[in-house]
């Protein structure tokens, strides 16, 4: 069984429909389909929730509602709650990457939950006391608090990776082969001529400029297609410079 199927995302006292919808989209991205709301605000904008869910409307409609956190996680073994605050028993909080293996291990055979608090106040102490683990997501001192859906994404992404998500991802391959030394040297010769003919630099400074140019082109892999484009640019520049000189000579 895929452990992601055993993971429940619990939102405590959510106040904005848009946040709930955005969380649904996150969960679909990360392969998690169990969403629970604890005492949701009675004036939630469900139209906004459906708008932000976008292709995750089915998950939004399938959410379960509970009156208390205890009810929402009653069948869960590991219950990991998120908190941006520090101090007291939050000192043993772990990073999402540290807690994720515990959650995945439990979710292999049991229900496990990630709990997220209110948009404005987070989880209260009595709610954190229900949790077996506490997650703290590091963020910049410029603004510590994360948007609800962003916090959910950070945590669920770690779970998704551990569950094998993305294992079939292959980075795009460069189709053009890397340029060989002879081809690169032809490029440098053409650019040397172009730099002189366009008046970019004087001949006595050409060697110094070419060393700089070589360093620039050596910072990354140059493919044969790259060199062809750069050669074309240099050749066209030389042709334009020659045409200008011929017109001036008339």
Give the DSSP per-residue string, 204-244.
HHHHHHHHHHHHHHTSSPPBHHHHHHHHHHHHHHHHHHHHH
CB within 8 A of 112, min separation 6: which ones?
6, 7, 8, 76, 77, 78, 79, 80, 103, 106
Answer yes or no: are the C-beta atoms of 135 and 93 closer than 8 Å.
yes
| Alpha helix positions (H), 62-180 | 69-72, 96-107, 125-128, 148-162
User: What pLDDT score was predicted for residue 92?
Assistant: 76
User: What pLDDT score was predicted for residue 83?
Assistant: 87
User: What pLDDT score was predicted for residue 114?
Assistant: 98
Percent of the chain, pLDDT > 70? Answer: 95
| Alpha helix positions (H), 40-112 | 46-53, 57-61, 69-72, 96-107
Regions of the chain with pLDDT less than 70: 85-91, 166-169
Q: State the DSSP code for 174.
A: P
Quick count: other Cβ atoms within 10 Å of Cβ 71?
13
SS3 state of residue 53: helix
Task: Write down the pTM of the prediction.
Answer: 0.75
User: What pLDDT score was predicted for residue 91?
Assistant: 60
**Is domain 3-162 given the CATH code 3.90.550.10 in the classification?**
no
User: What pLDDT score was predicted for residue 250?
Assistant: 73
User: What pLDDT score was predicted for residue 164?
Assistant: 87
Answer yes or no: are the C-beta atoms of 152 and 96 closer than 8 Å.
no
């Amino acid at each position: 069984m895929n452990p992601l199927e055993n993971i429940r995302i619990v939102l405590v006292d959510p106040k904005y429909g848009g946040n709930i919808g955005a969380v649904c989209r996150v969960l679909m991205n990360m392969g998690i389909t169990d969403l629970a709301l604890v005492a949701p605000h009675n004036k939630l904008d469900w139209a906004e929730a459906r708008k932000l869910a976008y292709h995750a409307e089915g998950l939004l409609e399938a959410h379960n509602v509970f009156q208390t956190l205890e009810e929402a996680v009653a069948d869960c073994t590991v219950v990991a709650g998120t908190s941006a605050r520090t101090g007291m028993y939050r000192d043993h909080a772990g990073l999402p990457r540290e807690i994720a293996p515990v959650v995945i291990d439990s979710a292999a055979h049991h229900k496990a939950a990630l709990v997220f608090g209110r948009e404005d106040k987070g989880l209260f102490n009595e709610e954190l006391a229900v949790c077996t683990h506490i997650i703290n997501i590091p963020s910049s001192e410029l603004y510590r608090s994360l948007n609800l859906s962003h916090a959910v994404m950070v945590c669920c992404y770690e779970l998704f990776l551990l569950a094998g998500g993305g294992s079939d991802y292959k980075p795009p391959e460069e189709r053009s082969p890397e340029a060989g030394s002879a081809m690169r040297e032809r490029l440098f010769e053409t650019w040397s001529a172009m730099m002189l003919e366009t008046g970019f630099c004087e001949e006595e400074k050409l060697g110094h400029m070419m060393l700089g140019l070589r360093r620039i082109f050596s910072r990354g892999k140059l493919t044969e297609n790259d060199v062809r484009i750069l050669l074309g640019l240099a050749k066209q520049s030389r042709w334009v410079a020659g045409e200008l000189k011929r017109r001036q000579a008339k």
